[in-house]
Amino acid sequence: TTGIKGQVGAKRFTRIVGIGKDTAGNLYVLNNPWGGSWDLGRDGATDIHAYDRNGNLRWTLQALNFEGIAAPDPATDGTLFYGGTHIYSGRAGGVFVANTVDPFTYPSDPRIDVNDVQRDEHFGQVVSVGANRILVAAGQNPPIFYFFHFNKANGYIAIPDASIPGPAFNTTRRVTSGFSLDGKGDVWAGLDKTGAIYHYPLTGFDADGKPAWGRPVAIPVPASVQPLTRIVYLADSDTMILAQGVPGSTDWTAIGTRIEVYHGWSAGNTTQPNPVITLPHSGAKSLDAAGNHLFVGYWFGGSGAALPNIDAFNLSTGKLDTTLVNTSSSTVDASSALDSMYGVRAYRRSNGEYVVTKNNVKGSSITVYRWTP
């Protein structure tokens, strides 16, 4: 079969788990790429191909895994979306472009490790540094993050590189106080029980495209935002966003209502947040930032009602600029609350439009919002 490695399409299959034929001679092929346990939906997406008696593709039916998120790709200005194991494109339903796992060449890929307790590294983050892409894949509420790179020879296949915790970052401590892969490829991680944010600078790529990071710099977590639970660093504007957890709670995945914004963090401002954002609802679960806005998604509010919309806060003023709502309810299901730590991804395109993705867990789908201030 011709095409790019990992590309999906007619007569391109990924882990065939069922074949059937009807009386008219049509052939049906079921793929479940990374399943294998009782919980196939969580382990991997499913797709069905239907071919006529002459081998021509009639239709395909595609379904996401149970939970996941795909991040807008900076290298294509948000045209492609990178999930933990798949790549998508398009509007009005989207298109399944490629599968990024190659179990034959990389059998130790952590995304298909049956002993990995997460079982669902379908939450993707992606950055482009020069001609190089870095993909991070993680689970629903992850204490560990896996890193991958791409090159021309392997096409769409994501090549496993490292993890944090892991030897590449010289730590065995879990990431429980936030994680951020910034636009320059640097890693920021709140390591468990350290009271510090560890900044690992990207030092470059080898000839194959594999990234490497240098020794970390530890920055104390400001007392005003402890316990720290989320980190977002915007390298292009030197802006650090820190979200406080719920004081007194043992749930390290929960976000409280206080978010601090530090302009000039790497220039030395690690103590004077301005603005400080107070969220209008309890139950925040996922957040991300791009350009001059912070996007926050929620689980259930204090009243017990699901909060499916995304709030957009101005990083200069701290004010709520807008709330992203479902304007296509007749064709799009966006009704689910969020129960994943990294279930919101944001990107500002070159034309000023924001593209925000949300894990719509109830619908086993990803909702894409587009907003131009």
- Parse the chain into domains and list their residue ranges: 221-372
Region for residue 344 given its phi and psi (left: phi exceeds 0; alpha: psi -120 to 50; beta: otherwise): beta
DSSP class of residue 299 equals S
Closest CA to 122 of 143, 146, 156, 91: 146
pTM metric for this prediction: 0.94
Q: Which two tokens stand for residue 214?
A: 């240098």
CB 215 within 8 A of CB 266: no
CB 232 within 8 A of CB 125: no
CB 201 within 8 A of CB 186: yes
Q: What is the dihedral of CA 85, 89, 95, 99, to 10 degrees?
A: -20
Assess whether pLDDT exceeds 70 at residue 298. Answer: yes
pLDDT tens by residue, 308-366: 999 999 999 999 999 999 888 888 878 888 989 999 999 999 999 999 999 988 777 89
pLDDT of 38 reads 46
Residue indicated by tokens 């710099």: 217
Question: Which of 26-35, 57-66, 283-292 is modeled with the greatest confidence?
Answer: 283-292
Q: Which CATH number fits domain 221-372: 1.10.20, 2.40.128, 3.40.50, 2.30.30?
A: 2.40.128
Distances (CA, A) of 111 to 1, 31, 145, 193: 25, 17, 11, 27
| Distance between CA atoms of residues 12 and 8, nearest Å | 6
87-94 long-range contacts, CB within 8 A, separation 24+: 87/6, 87/156, 88/366, 91/368, 92/331, 94/366, 94/368
